[in-house]
C-alpha cells in the first residue's frame, strides 16, 4: 500500500464535495493489479494505465457530489 497520505486526502474530499472516480487495472502477464483514484474519468484512466495496467473505461466507477 502507498504510505503517502495524499491518497487518503483524495478519498476524504469525496465525502464533503467534488467528484471522484476509482478504477482497478491489471497486468495479466506480471500477475499484478492496482487501482487509482482521480477527479475525472480521464484522469483515473490515465493514472492506472501509466502504472502499466490495462482497464476498460466501462470499469470506472464514481461520480460527483
Which cell numbers in the block locate residue 38?
A: 482521480
Give the C-alpha separation, 31 to 4, whole Å: 24
Residue 2: predicted pLDDT: 47
Structural domain of residue 54, as residue ranges? 6-64
pLDDT of residue 64: 78
Domain presence at residue 1: no
Tell me how long the chain is.
65
Total tally of structural domains belonging to the chain: 1
Measured in whole angstroms, the distance separating CA 43 from the mean position of its chain's CA atoms is 8
pLDDT score for 58 = 74
Which residues of the chain register pLDDT less than 70?
1-17, 57, 65
pTM beyond 0.85 = no
Q: Which residues contact 5 (CB under 8 A, 6 or more apart)?
A: none
32: phi then psi, degrees, rounded to nearest 5: -140, 140
| Whole-number pLDDT of residue 41 | 87
Distance between CA atoms of residues 27 and 65, nearest Å: 32
Amino acid at each position: 500500500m502507498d504510505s503517502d497520505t495524499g491518497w487518503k486526502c483524495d478519498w476524504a474530499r469525496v465525502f464533503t464535495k467534488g467528484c471522484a472516480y476509482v478504477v482497478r487495472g491489471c497486468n495479466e502477464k506480471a500477475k499484478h493489479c492496482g487501482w487509482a483514484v482521480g477527479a475525472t474519468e480521464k484522469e483515473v484512466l490515465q493514472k492506472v494505465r501509466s502504472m502499466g495496467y490495462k482497464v476498460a473505461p466501462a470499469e470506472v466507477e464514481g461520480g460527483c457530489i
